[in-house]
């Protein structure tokens, strides 16, 4: 009897529960814990984990030369720990405080026992995330200023893509006529902005050249009229430079505004798709996202392909729209290829294997159509360029396990070892996604990049474009829990009655 009275007392409590908290924090943590508003409260607390991931990734942006000399060979453990910590934070953000495993009185008890006031660590992370707005705003201001200055790209990929657009307008094949010497005549080139290769004067070595060595070999190569020690090929699919052709046709060689606009488009999409209660988090996380701001201001092509992949996932219920955006992503940069098997699994699990084949065919045909003129122009040059990141003898670099060998904490292993580890990690990630993709489709943005942690080159920019997109996707189109569960139950019942999978929308 006492247990029954306890249950009755709990069920007769009022729907809303108000708690006091700091006034400014009410923009980020709701005080309304009614049953209809609990999904919002849960999403706000999951956003805290995204903020923590951004804090850890921003700490990795601190120049490693500031502490590596004092900690060698253990210095590589710090960036590795920061990236792994961000992975863990993102994974925690993927795990909602769901009540669907509870039942009866246990569920009702859990509903009203969860505190409405954010815990101390959540408030602390929120404050740290707010502090990141300062360097994020500085990066934004620096980017705006740089758009009015002569082009200065801190990575050779953007310089080579801009030069490729120029070559194309001149009627030349970018995949055959790209040359670092000609590039240096158009754009300022710093030695640390290049990609050295383990050949020529850098042959038979694994340790990355120092700045003085890069400058000396670069000067020698320019005098000799050949640069075998540096990557000179256009190393991305054709859409990477086709998007820059309009700028070049207008005589604008500073294409930085394009990449900044790509990031602002991601922010605008986030503002559009999330519920109004989460828009303060959109503003905060977008401004505090120092790693993505750094990539955008640096003209990193990752901003373009991740924008296209985000749209492909958001439109996953529409066959043609989603597949076309995925095809554009595939045609822009190779890391987008890692998302393709996850997209296939998602469509297969949500609809059917045949639907997955349809969409992959659409995406593949679009990517092929964009690149086909250059394939026919010179197939060998095209393959040599697009496969350069995998085939050319580049130096090991990154914050993954290869970092332990770079600081000689571990010996270097053959490249096949890292390739095998990367393949195993991809297989495990796909198996994991097969199980969770229906409930957590956004998990692909984490699982698709985890294998790169084991690669020969695990650049930190590979991992910076996961946290904010995941927040966008798990915050998009959220319904109250009761409605969502009812809709799911109705949909499952109809599918059982019809005994056919749900067809994809056009």
User: How many angstroms from the chain centroid is the CA of residue 330?
Assistant: 14
State which residues of the chain have pLDDT below 50.
1-20, 98-115, 478-491, 493-494, 497-498, 500-506
For position 151, what pLDDT does the model report?
84
Range 142-149, long-range pairs (CB < 8 A, 24+ positions): 142/297, 143/256, 143/260, 143/293, 143/296, 143/297, 144/260, 146/254, 146/256, 146/297, 147/254, 147/256, 147/257, 147/260, 149/254
Q: Is the peptide bond before 73 cis (omega within 30 degrees of 0)?
A: yes
DSSP 233-248: S--S-THHHHTTHHHH
For position 492, what pLDDT does the model report?
52
Share of the chain above pLDDT 70, in %: 85
What secondary structure letter does DSSP report for 250? T
Q: Which residues contact 293 (CB under 8 A, 6 or more apart)?
A: 136, 139, 140, 143, 263
Rg of the chain's alpha carbons, rounded to an integer? 25
Q: Where are the alpha helices (DSSP H) in 289-414?
A: 290-297, 302-314, 319-330, 340-350, 353-377, 379-386, 388-391, 402-406
The structure tokens 């000396």 sit at 216
For position 95, what pLDDT does the model report?
83
Domain ranges of the chain: 29-149+254-498, 156-239
For position 477, what pLDDT does the model report?
62
For position 496, what pLDDT does the model report?
53
How many Cα atoms sit within 13 Å of 262 on the Cβ side?
30
């Amino acid at each position: 009897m006492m247990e029954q009275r306890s249950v009755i007392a709990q069920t007769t409590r009022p729907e809303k529960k108000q708690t006091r908290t700091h006034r400014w924090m009410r923009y980020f943590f709701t005080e309304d814990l009614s049953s209809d508003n609990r999904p919002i409260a849960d999403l706000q607390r999951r956003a805290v984990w995204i903020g923590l991931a951004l804090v850890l990734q921003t700490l990795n942006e601190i120049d490693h030369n500031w502490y590596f000399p004092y900690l060698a060979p253990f210095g590589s453990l710090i960036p590795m720990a920061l990236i792994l910590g961000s992975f863990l934070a993102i994974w925690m953000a993927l795990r909602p405080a769901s009540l669907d495993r509870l039942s009866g009185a246990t569920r009702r008890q859990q509903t009203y026992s969860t505190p409405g006031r954010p815990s101390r660590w959540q408030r602390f992370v929120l404050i740290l995330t707010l502090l990141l707005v300062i360097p994020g705003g500085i990066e934004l201001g620096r980017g705006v200023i740089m758009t009015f200055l002569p082009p200065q790209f801190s990575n050779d990929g953007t310089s080579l893509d801009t030069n490729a657009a120029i070559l194309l307008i001149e009627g030349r094949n970018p995949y055959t006529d790209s040359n670092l010497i000609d590039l240096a005549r158009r754009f300022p080139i710093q030695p640390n902005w290049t990609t050295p290769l383990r050949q020529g004067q850098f042959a038979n070595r694994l340790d990355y050249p120092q700045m003085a060595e890069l400058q000396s070999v670069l000067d020698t190569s320019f005098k000799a009229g050949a640069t075998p020690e540096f990557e000179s090929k256009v190393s991305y699919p054709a859409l990477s430079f086709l998007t820059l052709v309009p700028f070049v046709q207008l005589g604008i060689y500073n294409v930085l505004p394009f990449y900044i606009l790509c990031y602002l488009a991601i922010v605008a999409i986030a503002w559009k798709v999330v519920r109004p209660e989460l828009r303060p988090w959109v503003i905060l996380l977008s401004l505090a996202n120092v790693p993505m701001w750094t990539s955008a201001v640096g003209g990193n092509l990752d901003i373009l392909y991740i924008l296209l992949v985000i749209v492909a996932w958001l439109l996953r219920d529409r066959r043609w729209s989603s597949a076309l955006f995925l095809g554009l992503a595939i045609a822009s940069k190779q890391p987008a290829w890692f998302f393709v098997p996850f997209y296939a699994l998602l469509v297969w699990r949500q609809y059917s294997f045949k639907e997955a084949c349809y969409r992959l065919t659409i995406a593949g045909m679009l990517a092929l159509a964009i690149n086909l003129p250059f394939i026919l122009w010179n197939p060998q040059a095209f393959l040599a360029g697009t496969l350069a990141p995998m085939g050319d003898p580049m130096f090991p670099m990154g914050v993954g396990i290869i970092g332990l060998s770079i600081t000689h904490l571990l010996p270097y292993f053959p490249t096949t070892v890292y390739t095998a580890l990367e393949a195993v990690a991809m297989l495990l990630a796909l198996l994991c996604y097969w199980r969770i993709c229906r409930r957590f489709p956004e998990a692909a943005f984490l699982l698709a990049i985890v294998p790169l942690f084991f690669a020969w080159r695990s650049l930190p920019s590979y991992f910076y474009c996961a946290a904010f997109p995941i927040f966008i996707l798990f915050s998009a189109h959220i319904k109250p829990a009761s409605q969502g569960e009812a809709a799911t139950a109705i949909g499952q019942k109809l599918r059982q009655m019809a005994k056919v999978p749900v067809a994809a929308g056009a």
